[in-house]
Structure 1
Amino acid sequence: MRSIDMNYGRTKVNISVEEENLIGVIEGNEFKVSKLEDEIILDALHNPIGSPRLKELVHEGETVCVVIPDVTRAWQKTDKFVYKIVEELNLGGVEDKDITIISALGSHRKQTKEEHEKLIGEELSKRFEVIDHDCLDKENLTYLGETTYGTPIIVNKRVVECDHLVLAGGIVYHFLAGYGGGRKTVLPGISSYETIMKNHSLSLSKELGQGKNTDAKCGKLKGNPVHEDMMQAAAFLRPTFIFNVIAGHNGSIAAAVSGNYVEAFLEGCNIVDQMDGVTINEKADLVISSAGGYPKDINFYQTSKTIINAIEAVKEGGTLIILSQCCEGLGGNQDVQDILLNFEGLLDREKELRREYSISKDIGYIFCEIAKKVDVILVSDLNPEFLKKTDITVVKTVEEALEMTYNKRGKNLKTYVMPVAAATFPRIADVK
Structure 2
Amino acid sequence: MSEIKLKYGSETLACRLPEARVLRPAETAVPADLRQLIEAAIDAPLGAPALSQIVRPGEQVVVVTSDITRYTGSEHYLPVLVERLNGIGVPDQDIAIVIALGIHRKQSEAEHRKILGPLFGRIAVYDHECDDPAQLVELGVTASGIPVRINRRVVEADRVIVTGTAGFHYFAGFGGGRKGLVPGVGARETCMATHFSVFNPPEVGGKHPQAKTGILDGNPVHRALLEAARMVRPDFLLNTVLSADKQILGVFCGELEAAHLAACAMARDLYAVPLEAPADLAVVSCGGHPKDINFIQSHKALDYGVQALRPGGTIILLAACPDGFGNPTFFDWFQYQDLAQFEAALRSRYEINGQTAHATLMKARQFRVILVSGFSAEQTAAMGMEKADGLEAALQMAQAKLPENPRILVIPDGGTVLPELDAGSGAKSIGSSSAGLH
TM-score normalised to the size of structure 1? Answer: 0.92
What does residue 396 of structure 1 align with? 389
Once the two structures are TM-superposed, the CA of residue 232 in structure 1 deviates from its matched residue by 0.9
What does residue 60 of structure 1 align with? 57
**Residue 201 of structure 2, aligned match among 183, 190, 206:** 206
Matched residues in 2 for 1:300 and 1:131: separation? 29
After superposition, the C-alpha distances for 1:49-72 in whole angstroms (9 at most, x for unaligned) are: 223321222112222221121222
Once the two structures are TM-superposed, the CA of residue 156 in structure 1 deviates from its matched residue by 1.8
After superposition, the C-alpha distances for 1:79-115 in whole angstroms (9 at most, x for unaligned) are: 2221211121222222333323222111112223443
1:278 matches 2:276: no
Contact 2:92 2:122 in 1 (8 A): yes
What does residue 378 of structure 2 align with? 385
What does residue 336 of structure 1 align with? 330
Q: Which amino acid aligns with 1:176?
A: F
Q: Counterpart of 1:321 in 2: which secondary structure?
A: strand
Q: Which amino acid aligns with 2:17?
A: V
1:90 matches 2:71: no
What does residue 159 of structure 2 align with? 164
C-alpha spacing 1:103/1:292, structure 2 compared with 1 (3 Å): closer
What does residue 98 of structure 2 align with? 102
C-alpha spacing 1:114/1:319, structure 2 compared with 1 (3 Å): closer
Matches within 5 A, 1:142-221: 142-207=137-202, 210-221=205-216
**Residue 119 of structure 1, aligned match among 83, 96, 115:** 115
C-alpha spacing 1:121/1:16, structure 2 compared with 1 (3 Å): closer
What does residue 364 of structure 1 align with? 357
Aligned-pair identity in percent equals 35
C-alpha spacing 1:140/1:381, structure 2 compared with 1 (3 Å): closer
Q: Which amino acid aligns with 1:396?
A: D
Contact 1:209 1:347 in 2 (8 A): no
Matched residues in 1 for 2:10 and 2:103: separation? 33
Where in structure 1 do 4 or more consecutive aligned residues deviate above 6 Å? Answer: none
Contact 2:371 2:380 in 1 (8 A): no
What does residue 127 of structure 2 align with? 132
Q: Counterpart of 1:136 in 2: which secondary structure?
A: coil
Contact 1:208 1:351 in 2 (8 A): no
What does residue 411 of structure 2 align with? 418
Contact 1:152 1:195 in 2 (8 A): yes
Matched residues in 1 for 2:127 and 2:295: separation? 29
Structure 1 gaps, min length 5: none
Structure 2 gaps, min length 5: 431-438
Matched residues in 1 for 2:10 and 2:266: separation? 30
**Residue 256 of structure 2, aligned match among 254, 261, 284:** 261
Contact 2:284 2:318 in 1 (8 A): yes
C-alpha spacing 1:10/1:96, structure 2 compared with 1 (3 Å): closer
Once the two structures are TM-superposed, the CA of residue 27 in structure 1 deviates from its matched residue by 0.9
How many pairs does the alignment contain?
425
Structure 1 stretch displaced more, 329-338 or 168-177: 329-338
Once the two structures are TM-superposed, the CA of residue 356 in structure 1 deviates from its matched residue by 2.4
C-alpha spacing 1:146/1:417, structure 2 compared with 1 (3 Å): same
After superposition, the C-alpha distances for 1:264-301 in whole angstroms (9 at most, x for unaligned) are: 11110011112211122222122121122333333333
Matched residues in 1 for 2:36 and 2:347: separation? 46
After superposition, the C-alpha distances for 1:106-149 in whole angstroms (9 at most, x for unaligned) are: 11122234433332234x33333212221122223222222222
1:241 matches 2:236: yes
What does residue 6 of structure 1 align with? 6
Matched residues in 2 for 1:329 and 1:102: separation? 28
What does residue 28 of structure 2 align with? 31
Once the two structures are TM-superposed, the CA of residue 387 in structure 1 deviates from its matched residue by 1.9
Structure 1 stretch displaced more, 36-45 or 314-323: 36-45
Matched residues in 2 for 1:298 and 1:164: separation? 37
1:15 matches 2:8: no
Matched residues in 2 for 1:15 and 1:93: separation? 57
Contact 1:31 1:274 in 2 (8 A): no
Contact 2:31 2:37 in 1 (8 A): no
Matched residues in 2 for 1:407 and 1:208: separation? 41
Q: Counterpart of 1:166 in 2: which secondary structure?
A: strand
Q: Which amino acid aligns with 1:95?
A: P
TM-score normalised to the size of structure 2? Answer: 0.90
C-alpha spacing 1:329/1:71, structure 2 compared with 1 (3 Å): closer
Contact 2:35 2:80 in 1 (8 A): no
Once the two structures are TM-superposed, the CA of residue 228 in structure 1 deviates from its matched residue by 0.9
Q: Counterpart of 1:408 in 2: which secondary structure?
A: coil
Once the two structures are TM-superposed, the CA of residue 197 in structure 1 deviates from its matched residue by 0.7
